[in-house]
Structures are given as C-alpha cells and as structure tokens.
Amino acid sequence: MNTPTTPLSPSPATPLKLGTRRSPLALAQAEETRARLSTAHGWDLAAIEIVSVIASGDKVLDRPLAEIGGKALWTKELDAALADGTVDFAVHSMKDVETERPATLVIAAVLPREDVRDVLVGADSVATIPAGARVGTSAPRRAAQMLHARPDLSVVGFRGNVATRLAKLESREADVTLLAAAGLNRLGQFSIGSPLASDTWLPAPAQGAIGIECLAARTDLCALLDAINDKPSHAAIMAERGLLRGLGGTCHSPIALLTTAEGDSLTLRAALFSPDGAERIEASATFAKDDAAAPVALARTLLGAAPEAIRRHFTGS
C-alpha cells in the first residue's frame, strides 16, 4: 500500500534571493539554509540565489561593537535589502540580531539549534589558563564571566571572524580566546579548542541559532519557510529574546543563559554580571513554551535581586 505524501511546492518562476553577510560563517549558514529549504520543497539549489552584502560590523574591527553602533551593524544592510526588494529573505546568527526589530519584519524560521557552548582556545580549561594571562574577547558576557571565574586575568579587545581571531591569537595579541562551538562546527573546524560545559559556563542568548527573516507582509514566504522552522529551537530563541527585552539589555550588558526543554516546557537559567566580573546574580524559571510573560517575569526577578553594579547596565524595570 502506497503511503500518501505531502505535495511539494512548485519551484519559483524566478530564483528567490537569500540575503546574507559576506563572512565565511555567514555564507556557510546561508548555504545550509538554501539546502534545507530546497530539500524541504523538492527544489534544485538554483531555485534560491545567495546575495551577500558587507555589513557595517564587518568593516570596523578595531573597536568593540558596543562603541560603534551595537548589533544593528550586523543587520541594517540586510534590513534595507529586504525593504527595497533586493532580497526576499535574510539569514542571521540570532545572537547578533538586536532584540527590538522593525514591525515590518518577522523571524519566519529558526533552524535546528547547533551546539550552544563556547570553546576555549589556548588552554585546556579555565582553571589551567596561566596566572595573569590575557583573554582576547570583545564580548561583555565572555569578559565578565571569565573575570568572575579568574579575576587574576586581563581582557584585551578581540574582534573579527574566526580566522581573524585565531590569527591574532597566533601572533600573541592574547594568550587565550573564546569562540562559539556552533560557528566552528559550521565551518568544519571541529578540533579547535576545548568546549566549556554549558551548565557551568553559560552561553550567550540565542547562541548556535540561525534565523531567517522576511517582510511580515510576505505571507507566501512565511508559508514556505515554515517547512524548515524547528519549533523547539524557535520557542527557545523567542524565550531568550523575551528575557533580553525584559532586562533592557544592550551590547554593554553582560548576560549569560541556558535554555533546556522537557516536553512542552522550557527551563531558562540566566546570570547577570557586572562588567568587571566582581558581581554575579542568577535565577531560573520553568514555563510553557508559549508563555511569553514568563521570561519577562524572570527578568524582573533578576533585576530586583541585582546589586547596583549590575543593574545600572540594564534598562528594564
């Protein structure tokens, strides 16, 4: 007996245009998105054209992102391309997407989340980093979390793609650095560094997640993209973004978190730090996947318990 199959979507008359940043990792994420969407609908890869742009955040590498415009520097060129129709949809690393997005845009799909862990490069563990060593990072979360664990260390600014940061490490601009396991995996660089356990070294919000965004008015694209939307990953990302929204965090705000799922429930564990790592506050909550109010309530709990050294870096109430 033949098993009925869901009819595949007809191939578009003209290629759909998928916007992406031009970095090697962003292009790898775009290729994954194209492959998943083509497979889901039975299309040739040629049905989707990858259109790359140079993001402002990729142009200025000598200053921390928070000093030159924040996460919008990763998205504004792609936002403009969506608005003027240069691209039909855009792919993002969700941890680089600002919490407040234009009402005209929608995160239509989130791909299955990759490894959320950070990878330490230059030492086997945080405990074995030599005393007084320099940690290369421009991420407030990584800097604060490292200084909390190892106040004897110092932090030096480190920005750029994976290859750039590894080259800076090789040239001894720092003794160790931290990279996202998801990015290394997507670039096929599985053997670099030592992954840090996510339950003791909490990751960044939305780390490891690829999101696909399009105009909210393009209901046709939203329907097509739903075929590759991983609902558990999407739910976790929206909860984490809800927490960020409740906290009023910025690129200057050190926040680390971990989301775990069990059945229809999510457990969100979050820690806030002072930038120098001296202060730390943690709280967690378990709630239904579709409970948008719970992450905001957790944000209030965290801010209510946080000392002024932490609270001043968040604008939530």
Domain ranges of the chain: 16-111+209-229, 118-195, 241-311
- 101, pLDDT greater than 60: yes
Query: Distances from the Cα of 123 to the Cαs of 120, 133, 190, 227, in angstroms?
Result: 7, 11, 16, 41
Given a cut of 70, whether residue 68 has pLDDT beyond it is: no
The architecture (CATH level 2) of 241-311 comes to 2-Layer Sandwich (3.30)
pLDDT above 50 (res 6)? no
The CATH number of 16-111+209-229 is: 3.40.190.10
First and final C-alpha spacing in the chain: 61
Confidence at 4, pLDDT banded by 50, 70, 90: very low
What are the residue numbers of the active site?
96
The whole-number average pLDDT for the span 188-208 is 95
**What CATH number has the domain spanning 118-195?**
3.40.190.10
Helix axes 293-305, 231-247, angle to 10 degrees: 40
Q: How confident is the model at residue 1 (pLDDT cuts 50, 70, 90)?
A: very low
Mean pLDDT of the 55-82 span: 64
The per-residue pLDDT for 56 is: 58
Predicted confidence (pLDDT) per residue in 250-308, tens digit: 778 999 999 999 999 999 999 999 999 999 999 999 999 999 999 999 999 999 999 99
Instruction: Name the nearest CA neighbour of 71 among 51, 89, 93.
Output: 93
**What whole-number percentage of the chain has pLDDT above 70?**
91
Range 128-148 average pLDDT: 97
Read off the pTM. 0.90
User: What would the pLDDT profile of 22-44 be if each residue is shown by its tens digit?
Assistant: 889 999 999 999 999 999 999 99
> Which residue's entry shows tokens 């806030």?
272
CATH topology identical between 16-111+209-229 and 241-311: no
The mean of the pLDDT values for the chain is 91
